[in-house]
Structures are given as C-alpha cells and as structure tokens.
Amino acid sequence: MADSKVLSAQQISEHKTSEDCWVVVNNQVWDVTDFLEEHPGGSNIILKYAGSDATKAYSEVHAPSVMKNNLDAEKLKGVLDESTIDAEWAKPPEQNPKVVLENEKAPLHTLINSHDFEVVASKTATNKTWAFYSSAATDLLTRDANKSCFDRIWFRPRVLRNVRSVDTRTNMLGGSYSLPLFVSPAAMAKLIHPDGECAIAKACASKGIMQGELRTAAPSADFFFQLYVNRDRAKSAALLRQCSANPNIKAIFVTVDAASPGKREADERVKADESLSVPMAPSKAQNDKKGGGLGRVMAGFIDPGLTWEDLKWVKQHTHKPVCLKGVMSADDALLALKAGIDGIMLSNHGGRNLDTSPPSIITLLEIHRRCPEVFEHMEVYVDSGIRRGTDMLKAVCLGATAVGMGRSMLFATNYGQEGVEHLIDSKPIGGSVLTCANAIAVMQDELETSMRNVGITSLAEASPDLVHTGDVDHLVPASRSHPYARAIAKGRADSKL
C-alpha cells in the first residue's frame, strides 16, 4: 500500500494548490483535493497547509483516527521522509495580516452581523450622514428599548425534532418570499453610497425579499409603496394612480407615525454646529432658528392632518391592498380592523419621532392581550429594533407575518448592492432550500440557526409557545379604561378657582 512509499518534503510541496492539494499529518501524506469542499470547516483552513505539514493544526481539532475514517485508503500517498525537511519547508504558513485603518471600510466578508455594518458606518460615513441615520428622538429611550425588549424575550427551545431541512419562506401580501424580512423604506440612501436606493432595490430583488419604497428607485421585483400623504391631496392621488398601474406594487402603506417630525438631536446638532461657521447670519434668516436637521427638512411636506376619513379616500383611489405603517396601540389596530384595512405595520419609526413611544414588540403583545382577533383578519408587520435572526423569529412566533429593517439596511448600503445582499443573504425564490447551505451571514443564516435550535423547520410552526415574555409583560398595557380618568376630566371641566 501507499503507506510504505517514502516522499520527500520537496516532492510534497509541489502539491499545494486547490486543484492538487496534499497535506502531511503525523508523517502520513494525504491527497485531500477532493475533500476540500466537503470539509465542514471550509477549504481555506486546509489550503493554508497545502503541500506542507498540517499535524499541529489538525491535532488541535481532530482525533488521530478521523482522517483515516473519512478518507479513502487510496488518498494516502505515502510517508514523509523526515530527513528531507529543510528550513523553508518547516516554515509556518505566512501571517501578514492586512491592516485596516480606522476610517477605512473593512473588507465586506469580515462583517458578520448587522452591528458590524453600523460600526463601520459610524467610522466611515460623514458626520452628517451618520447623524441623520443613527439619530432618534430626544433621549433615545425608544430607540434603545426597541432592541432591548427583544433581548428580554426568551426562547423556550424544543429538542429532538428533525431540523435537517429548514424553510424560511413566508407569504406576505399574497406573494411568497424567501424570508419574513423586508426592507423598510428609508430616505436618502444616497448619502452613504451613490447607488443609494437602487442598490437596496436590486439586492432585494436578487435575494427574493419584499421591500418598501418611497419612489420607484429601480426596476425591481415585488415591493410595497409607502405613501406619505401630501398636504396637496391631488399630488397623492396622482401618485396612487401611478401605483395602480405598476404590477410590482403589491400594496400601499400609508404612513401614520409621522404626524410631526421628531426632535432628533444628533441630527439637529450637525446643523447647529455648522451654523457656527457663519458668523453673520443674513437678516432674512434672523428668525430662522428652526434647526433644520435633515429629519425636519424631510418632514416638511407631510400632512399632519391625516385622519381615518382620509383612509377611505385612499382606498377609493387604489384597488391594491391598503395597509397602515406606524400603528402603536392595540386601540388603533382595532380601528384599522374596523376600517377594513388589509394589514398593519407596528412601528415607532425607529424611535425617531416620539421618545418613550412603545417598542413595536410591546405593541404586538398588547394586541395579543387585548384583541387577538386582529391576527385572524389582518397581516401584522413589525418594524423598529430588528438586529438579529432571533429578533425576526421572536416577532414571527408572536404573530408577525414579517419584520422590517431600516437603519441596518442603510448601513449596509455603505457597500452598495453587495453589502445589502451580504446582510440579507437569502436564496432566490424557487431555489432549492438545501443548495444554499454553503452561504453564510447574516440574517438568513441567523434565522435558520435560530429555527433549528428552537426546534422548527418552517415558520408555520413558529408559535407563542416558543417564547416567554415574562420579563417584559409589565410593560404591556392590559386595558384602556382608567377609573381615575373620570376624576381628572371632571376636575378639568369644573371651574375651580
């Protein structure tokens, strides 16, 4: 057998490519070329030792017998002639780590979660862009609670269920998508990358997920149109007509959580600081103290006078499903149900409008507690605070059809379309579930990992029984009426002094 063939270090070192790869382990010489792609730990780690001695790295991880048990005997090419080892051959693999500077974007493949994209953006975007993207209302309490409330919900994982094949596909607005995830419509993606909204749209299309848009950014697959109703209704009517003609638009989402632009102080400060460089303000601008962070600029055209009556008007101007974006209470979820709305997105605008408005996942729990019938008749989406596959799964377990990510997608746009794809990383619609086993990061991978570890293989199995909300239940309102409300109202009505 080949075991007896004696090979010199120099002979072995000729087989050092991915097409022809030998390695030495415990003085035995193995041809691992065909095994490269099967290696559970990936081929890179083996290729580092191509043509040389991998004993040390191998032994740290594997028992001596693993190699023999997993490779055919014919792959054993011989034994190393130790007398032929020279300094060159014995040298460990090179270690020239490339240095990434503080204000330079790290290579995309080194980003492994949504937080990484945020960190890179904080260091490489302009102050103005960072301020607009990251800021939220006043003391940031809602922004932070959006995330921490997810962290305070615990799984109740089940074991010994066959989770070999996991299917993350979901139905939403009548279509089928690869993930219960959509990109929330976000403004001004061009601030961080010239491709801006187009990069996002193309990534969503290629990855088969739903997206929201503020305007038609790119030739794309399915999306929903997020409508900010204009003070000038005629303009909104025109927009709705355009939407009706576009078969890719699956629904109209009417924005209802932006009655007034929030006070986003980081954003305001960028503007304020800038003013310092203008020592003499022109006379006309003397009363122009209104800050003017980008958030306020954007909000200038939105109509704060929108009411449930206007929704009827919207429904008359489109045959598409009409949904609400920005519901923050069970009461309004019920009103939406009564108004014949097709779906509601629970959202506090990423905490950007009203500080201490409730985290969306808390509103979802309020609907559970006060009006579960909502889930029978409307799709419910959740926005604000989603950072992890576990967050996605928790929302779906608690009744959400899908969740939206906004800020994180903007941060990913820092790397253009490829960045957004890396963050999503789902498989194309209709693609085999199993073939993408090789894909990594981020949201798709995290969701699959979470589903397997919680013991389910499809989102239809995601149920409230798989989570425990005891650590946040006290944050969930249980009823509407307050006995003392009457006393306060009476006191106000009376003239007392």
- The residue among 200, 248, 196, 259 whose CA lies nearest residue 225 is 248
Rounded CA gap, 297 and 96, in Å?
A: 48
Part in contact with a second copy (CB under 8 A); list of ranges 83-91, 107-115, 176-184, 412-420? 107-115
With a CB cutoff of 8 Å and minimum separation 6, the contacts of 420 are: 183, 199, 200, 203, 204, 409, 412, 413
Tokens of 430: 């209709």
With a CB cutoff of 8 Å and minimum separation 6, the contacts of 233 are: 313
Among 390, 408, 417, 444, the residue binding a second copy under the rule CB under 8 A is 390
In the set 116, 257, 342, 383, the catalytic residue is 257
Minimum distance of a second copy from residue 81's CB (angstroms): 26
Tokens of 56: 């040390």
Part in contact with a second copy (CB under 8 A); list of ranges 3-11, 176-184, 203-211, 347-355? 347-355
Binding of residue 123 to a second copy (CB under 8 A) = no
Binding positions for a second copy, 270-289, rule CB under 8 A: 271-279, 281-285, 287-289
Please identify, using beta-carbon distances, which residue of 282 and 430 lies nearer to a second copy: 282
468 classed as catalytic? no
Minimum distance of a second copy from residue 77's CB (angstroms): 19
In the set 228, 383, 391, 415, the catalytic residue is 228
Binding positions for a second copy, 472-491, rule CB under 8 A: 473-477, 480-491
Contact 301, 329 (CB under 8 A): no
Contact 365, 472 (CB under 8 A): yes
Among 3, 82, 373, 418, the residue binding a second copy under the rule CB under 8 A is 373
- The residue among 356, 369, 357, 358 whose CA lies nearest residue 398 is 369
Rounded CA gap, 316 and 244, in Å?
A: 12
Q: How many residues bind a second copy (CB under 8 A)?
A: 173
Please identify, using beta-carbon distances, which residue of 86 and 273 lies nearer to a second copy: 273
Contact 188, 132 (CB under 8 A): yes
Minimum distance of a second copy from residue 45's CB (angstroms): 6
In the set 15, 193, 349, 422, the catalytic residue is 349
Tokens of 69: 């048990």
Residue 437, class by beta-carbon neighbours within 10 Å (0-12 exposed, 13-18 middle, 19+ buried)? Answer: exposed
Minimum distance of a second copy from residue 404's CB (angstroms): 17
Rounded CA gap, 98 and 331, in Å?
A: 55
Residue with tokens 């074991």, as numbered in its chain: 159
Binding of residue 138 to a second copy (CB under 8 A) = yes
Among 59, 127, 242, 246, the residue binding a second copy under the rule CB under 8 A is 59
Contact 181, 406 (CB under 8 A): no
Binding of residue 419 to a second copy (CB under 8 A) = no
Site string for a second copy, 197-226 (x = CB under 8 A): ------------------x-----------
Part in contact with a second copy (CB under 8 A); list of ranges 71-79, 200-208, 355-363, 413-421? 355-363
Please identify, using beta-carbon distances, which residue of 122 and 463 lies nearer to a second copy: 463
Q: What is the DSSP letter of 257?
A: S
Among 159, 201, 249, 338, the residue binding a second copy under the rule CB under 8 A is 159
Please identify, using beta-carbon distances, which residue of 4 and 479 lies nearer to a second copy: 479
Among 72, 74, 102, 376, the residue binding a second copy under the rule CB under 8 A is 376
Please identify, using beta-carbon distances, which residue of 78 and 145 lies nearer to a second copy: 145
349 classed as catalytic? yes
Helices (H), 135-259: 141-151, 196-207, 233-245
Which phi and psi (to 5°) does residue 461 adopt? -85, -10
Minimum distance of a second copy from residue 265's CB (angstroms): 6
Rounded CA gap, 337 and 234, in Å?
A: 27
Binding of residue 304 to a second copy (CB under 8 A) = yes
Site string for a second copy, 174-193 (x = CB under 8 A): x-------------x-xx--
Residue 277: CA atoms inside 13 Å, Cβ hemisphere, count? 4
What is the distance of C-alpha 269 from the center of its chain? 28
Please identify, using beta-carbon distances, which residue of 9 and 467 lies nearer to a second copy: 467
**Helix, strand, or coil here: 393?**
helix
Please identify, using beta-carbon distances, which residue of 78 and 271 lies nearer to a second copy: 271
Binding of residue 441 to a second copy (CB under 8 A) = yes
**Helix, strand, or coil here: 427?**
coil
| Cα–Cα distances in angstroms (integers) from residue 365 to residues 145, 166, 404, in the given order | 15, 27, 17
Rounded CA gap, 497 and 495, in Å?
A: 6
317 classed as catalytic? no
Binding of residue 97 to a second copy (CB under 8 A) = yes
Minimum distance of a second copy from residue 4's CB (angstroms): 28
Name the residues annotated as catalytic: 228, 257, 349
